[in-house]
């Protein structure tokens, strides 16, 4: 599982440019499902056929990044954010383009008072070009880059990499597909595109599949770092059961069903209320006439940075939770507001 995590997180794939990571995931999951295909927007759908109700699991493949919007006379690149790119973590970071070209994020020091966080508009990417003509041979307006950082183990349980959000959830679904021998449900493992720019891949894939229940798997923040967010989630204490974020209020029926599946697998889960952001579950819930939807959250420190940290035990339990949900007959459960 560690090698899969390393392979997935290190792949290039900012929103709208998911081809490389999609091909990697497709190759990994194909032996364990009946059909793998791509929808019109680019989401990867792996179908494990069954005779029961439709159960959809979703994890997004895309990562945050930047897009080149100008090349100046000296060959420096100006850029716009693709998704939630924070200025405080961008300065001095390395970014990688689709062809492997790497640049460094610099700043206009004279225009930024010492000690202040500069806005992205004061930053640029240095690709080592000696002027505009050379830069234009290397890069074009509209090219995208993702932040780059190697996958490392701080300890056997604590892993750090760029793009844990949300490739670690893609690992979760892939590993669950390997372990799921049979299910009373018709199961879809969906790896969505463009989540970071508006939950777009989840909208189209959910509409297409039209599931009876949708479960997103995504990362969530933690409240266990010095003066961090106030929330009841800690690294290493198990995956979290989402109750609410800016995109969804999970119904009691869905929460109770998910908790029952966790109890059945003897998994301790943490309650999660995220005060910012959203997940693919939010798009699922408002698709068609409304799809019952919930979310398994993997605790992650330093989200939307090149140094996102997860705990291996949380990942393993999230895999078990997905399998347990898939093994329960969703046709025998209600998921409304009851």
> Stretch 151-169: mean pLDDT, rounded?
96
Q: 210-247: per-residue pLDDT in tens?
A: 999 999 999 999 999 999 889 999 999 999 999 999 99
200 and 123 share one domain? no
252 and 128 share one domain? no
Q: Is 195 a catalytic residue?
A: yes
Nearest to 184 by CA among 35, 336, 323: 323
Cβ(240)–Cβ(270) below 8 Å: yes
167 and 281 share one domain? yes
Q: Is residue 338 part of a domain?
A: no
Provide the residue range defining the domain that includes 39. Answer: 2-63+162-332
Q: What is the mean pLDDT of the chain?
A: 95
Q: 172-185: per-residue pLDDT in tens?
A: 999 999 999 999 99
Query: How many domains, in total, are found in the chain?
Result: 2
Cβ(36)–Cβ(24) below 8 Å: no
Q: Is residue 156 part of a domain?
A: no
C-alpha dihedral, 190 to 194 to 200 to 203, nearest 10°: 0
Nearest to 281 by CA among 58, 132, 51, 47: 58
Task: Please give the radius of gyration of the chain, using alpha carbons only, rounded to the nearest integer.
Answer: 20
137 pLDDT tier (thresholds 50, 70, 90): very high
337 pLDDT tier (thresholds 50, 70, 90): low
In this prediction, residue 338 carries a pLDDT of 43
221 and 245 share one domain? yes
Please pick, among 18, 195, 196, 272, the residue that the annotation labels catalytic.
Answer: 195
Nearest to 298 by CA among 336, 242, 259: 242
DSSP 8-state class, residue 33:
S
83 and 176 share one domain? no
Strands (E), 210-265: 213-220, 240-244
């Amino acid at each position: 599982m560690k090698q899969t995590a390393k392979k997935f997180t290190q792949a290039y794939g900012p929103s709208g440019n998911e081809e490389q990571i999609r091909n990697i995931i497709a190759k990994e999951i194909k032996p364990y499902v009946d059909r793998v295909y791509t929808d019109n927007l680019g989401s990867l759908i792996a179908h494990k056929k069954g005779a029961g109700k439709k159960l959809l699991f979703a994890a997004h493949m895309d990562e945050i990044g930047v897009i080149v919007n100008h090349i100046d006379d000296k060959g420096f690149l100006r850029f716009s954010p693709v998704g939630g790119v924070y200025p405080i973590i961008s300065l001095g970071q390395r970014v990688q383009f689709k062809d492997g070209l790497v640049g460094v994020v610099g700043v206009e020091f004279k225009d930024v008072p010492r000690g202040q966080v500069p806005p992205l508009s004061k930053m640029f990417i240095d690709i080592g070009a000696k002027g505009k003509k050379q830069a234009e041979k290397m890069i074009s307006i509209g090219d995208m880059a993702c932040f780059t950082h190697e996958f490392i183990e701080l300890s056997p349980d604590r892993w750090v990499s760029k793009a844990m959000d949300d490739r670690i959830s893609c690992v979760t679904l892939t590993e669950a597909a390997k372990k799921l021998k049979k299910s009373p449900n018709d199961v879809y493992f969906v790896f969505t595109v463009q989540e970071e720019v508006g939950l777009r891949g989840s909208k189209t894939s959910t509409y297409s599949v039209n599931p009876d229940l949708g479960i997103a798997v995504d990362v969530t923040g933690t409240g266990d770092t010095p003066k961090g967010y106030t929330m009841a989630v800690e690294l290493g204490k198990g995956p979290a059961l989402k109750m609410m974020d800016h995109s969804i209020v999970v119904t009691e029926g869905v929460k109770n069903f998910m908790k029952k599946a966790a109890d059945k697998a003897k998994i301790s889960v943490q309650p999660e209320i995220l005060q910012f952001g959203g997940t693919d579950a939010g798009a699922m819930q408002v698709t068609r006439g409304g799809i019952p939807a919930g979310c398994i959250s993997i605790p992650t420190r330093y989200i939307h940075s090149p140094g996102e940290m997860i705990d291996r035990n949380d990942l393993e339990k999230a895999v078990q939770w997905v399998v347990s949900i898939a093994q329960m007959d969703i046709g025998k459960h209600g998921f409304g507001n009851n």
